[in-house]
Structure 1
């Protein structure tokens, strides 16, 4: 994948998961619903990982390139 495609994918994932959080705040699914569990165990971790990946992408890319050289 090219760098631009990776950035676009990271941004899209981050925006979609952020939108799911916003919707869950305004709709407020019951605590015992599958939607609540999906948000807690899937959406929030994906949002955090995609945010950190966008923030630290240059460092991650350098680490990947260093591993490829070895």
Structure 2
């Protein structure tokens, strides 16, 4: 693993894990219960959604491009 390269914040599982943990805590304050297993599932689903969005954006970019790749 190369820790000298960077990636977008939204592609970080750490970011999404923290966001889901905070959301689960806030939900707990509101009287809802979110299990650890549900939190893990949610992070995995967010990761898949980001991958699909990235693929869709790549296809869109190729469709609207006006130059060849070379």
TM class by smaller structure: 0.3 to 0.5
TM (norm. structure 1) is: 0.38
Higher-RCO chain (CA-CA 8 Å, sequence separation at least 6)? 1
TM (norm. structure 2) is: 0.38
Q: Which has the larger radius of gyration?
A: 2
Structure having the larger proportion of residues in helix: 1
